[in-house]
Amino acid sequence: MRTSKYKEGTLIRLFDPWGNPLCTCPRKYTLNPYTGCSFFCIYCYATAYIGRKPSTPKKEYFNRLLKDIVRIDKNLPVNMSTSSDPYPPIEAKLGITRRTLKLLVDNKIRVLITTKGVIYTRDIDIITRGNVAITPTITTLDDSISSRIEPNAPPPKERIEALREASNNGIPAGVRIDPIMPYINDDPYEIEELVAILSNIETVDFIVTSTYKARPDNFKRVIQAFPELENKYRRLYREEGILFHGYTYLKPSIRLKLLEPVFRYARKYGLKYAHCREGFRGKEYFNAPSCDGTHLLYPPYSNK
């Protein structure tokens, strides 16, 4: 049972990844302005809980949000979003995340934005007057791979250009190269190219990475998208994998092999690095002040 001294509301909830002991996130709130996610990433874990459906506004959202803002502890940051992207295509029309961001900033609440979208550049005027950081996800530079694993998300080049625009406006950032999927986006040369590009974006402070962890529904989608990998994935996950807290993990030796290029090239290009729920200890695997980017909200933190 969750016990905490921090109050929460019906929308702004304490981040609690189902008691996973490998989670290293500092205490924070999570807020999802939408239910579901129109990007339809094949590896998404949240579909196991809420199903696979497009981004949909929540009922009585702003009435509930205003009550939550009064109730919560403003010493904790709010992470938008941990299970439903805050910048799906419909946000360009509805502006729910923009209005949410304004309310949070006006109430002096620290905000961490996690997204595969690019519409956040529209909101730079709000972001730059608050204590706000971004951690966009860029899993690959290869459009053909991205279109298969993140079919409705913006192409990698658009995400990088959005990140550059944010950086040019002084917005602190980290990047999620996450998840690394065997035989799909694990090529070390391509990982180095991505890390090198990110290292040249001024305000990018660190990289966080993780391996793909299978659940029955997303495993089925991966096999459907990459039928040529079915035998390899069944061996890696079904035969050799390790069931842990509802996910099937790869063996530790394989996970380290997949993640090591990210750590190595982050060191080479002068970026901090972290992993997400992998359990590896030591500075060779984790030297950032936080895994999720919340340290960007408590300056000064910079390796530039």
Residue 303 lies in a domain: no
Residue 3 lies in a domain: no
Exposed, middle or buried: residue 48 (CB in 10 Å: 0-12, 13-18, 19+)? Answer: middle
Residue 4 confidence (pLDDT): 65
Contact 23, 72 (CB under 8 A): no
In this structure, of 17-31, 104-118, 223-237, the range with the lowest mean pLDDT score is 17-31
Centre a 10 Å sphere on the Cβ of residue 40 and count the other Cβ atoms it contains: 16
Contact 250, 258 (CB under 8 A): yes
Residue 191 lies in a domain: yes
What span, in angstroms and rounded, lies between the C-alpha atoms of 245 and 21? 9
Residue 55, C-beta contacts closer than 8 angstroms, at least 6 positions apart: 34, 35, 36, 37, 38, 84, 85, 88, 89, 90, 91
Residue 298 confidence (pLDDT): 84
Residue 2 lies in a domain: no
Residue 3 confidence (pLDDT): 53
Report strand pairing: 272-275 vs 247-249.
unpaired
Residue 4 lies in a domain: no
Which domain, by its residues, includes 217? 13-297
Share of the chain above pLDDT 90, in %: 93
Question: Any bridge partners for residue 209, and if so which?
Answer: 177, 275
Residue 184 lies in a domain: yes
Residue 5 lies in a domain: no
Reported as a single tens digit per residue, the pLDDT across 247-258 is 999 999 999 999
pLDDT higher than 50, residue 1: no
pLDDT higher than 50, residue 237: yes
Residue 212 lies in a domain: yes
Reported as a single tens digit per residue, the pLDDT across 77-101 is 999 999 999 999 999 999 999 999 9
Residue 220 confidence (pLDDT): 98
Provide the pLDDT confidence category of residue 17 given band limits of 50, 70 and 90: confident
Q: Whole-prediction pTM value?
A: 0.95
Residue 79 confidence (pLDDT): 98
Total of domains in the chain: 1
34 membership: H or E segment, kind and range: strand 34-35
Reported as a single tens digit per residue, the pLDDT across 263-298 is 999 999 999 999 999 999 999 999 999 999 999 998
| SS3 of residue 14 by DSSP | strand
What does the DSSP assignment read for 178-221? Answer: EEE-TTTS--HHHHHHHHHHHHTSTTEEEEEEEE--B-HHHHHH
Residue 171 belongs to domain with CATH number: 3.20.20.70
